[in-house]
Amino acid sequence: MLKNIEGIILDWAGTTVDFGCFAPVNVFLEIFHSAGIEVTQEEARKPMGMLKRDHIKAMLGMPRIRSAWKEKHGCEYDEQDVDTLYEEFKPMLMSSLHKYTDPITGVIETIETIREMGLKIGSTTGYTDSMMEIVVKCAKDKGYSPDCYITPDSTHSIGRPYPYMIYKNMEVLKLSAPWKVIKVGDTIADIKEGFNAGVWSVGVIVGSSQMGLSYEDYMRLDETDRESRMANVKKQYIEAGADFVIETMKDLPMLIEKIDRLITEGKRTYAFRA
């Protein structure tokens, strides 16, 4: 029986559904291609987890992309360019989102275990309400459904790394204190969101946008390459402020028990991060 932890807040794409978080990545590549700028998957993934308009603006601000834009268009990008790209992004993503809603292996079983532990399950995302209507319905049809989800539409379009979506989850789920909450995600923005909210911030490696591999490509890795890539993702999470890193969602229940025990023993609290 848990004595301290009351709830878990999960990310969506790359954490619970859409192994590798490919739905938005493919569209980012396409809209920049249409604007005459070729971007890499690594560049497209770097701001992952942010509100999608903010994500586009972050990409435009990258030195290489910013320089390429100026060379192609003869001037620096402005807010109108951000809006134009975002308006192109939205319908393209909406038309393909349903294809990227399969729960990642182990997620459904993990959620069942977490519910049996008596925990409430919330979620945050970089998608908007209209995007999530598609994702939530399709994921539910496939067996995954948290107790609630909050998008930046509910926080005045202020998304990650700000903590407000987490606080909104806490309000809806009636979670009593940040140190009784665990946030799990697959991007640096997720980690910073959790850190800034004062909750336990956890990164998941396999299936993550941070690793950036499809399930097929991940399975083709030899043991040495797999361990190297996983170690690199773990390092990035820790440097961003993660309290813990798990390999897969299947590891989450055991981590929850560990965190609950650490609090009970007085070895870790959120008043003092160690």
The annotation places the binding site for Mg(2+) at 11, 13, 186
Residue 53: Cβ within 10 Å count: 21
CB under 8 Å to 218, separation ≥6 — which residues?
Answer: 19, 20, 206, 207, 211, 226
Distance CA 18, CA 167 (A): 25
Binding residues: 11, 13, 186
Distance CA 165, CA 171 (A): 10
Contact 28, 56 (CB under 8 A): yes
48: left (phi over 0), alpha (psi -120 to 50) or beta: beta
Distance CA 270, CA 268 (A): 7
Residue 106: Cβ within 10 Å count: 15
Q: How far is CA 225 from the centre of its chain?
A: 24
Distance CA 255, CA 184 (A): 11
From the list 46, 52, 120, 183, the catalytic residue is 52
From the list 11, 18, 243, 260, the catalytic residue is 11
Distance CA 237, CA 210 (A): 9
Distance CA 268, CA 191 (A): 18
Told to judge if 11 belongs to the known catalytic residues of this protein, a careful annotator would answer: yes
Tell me the catalytic residues.
11, 52
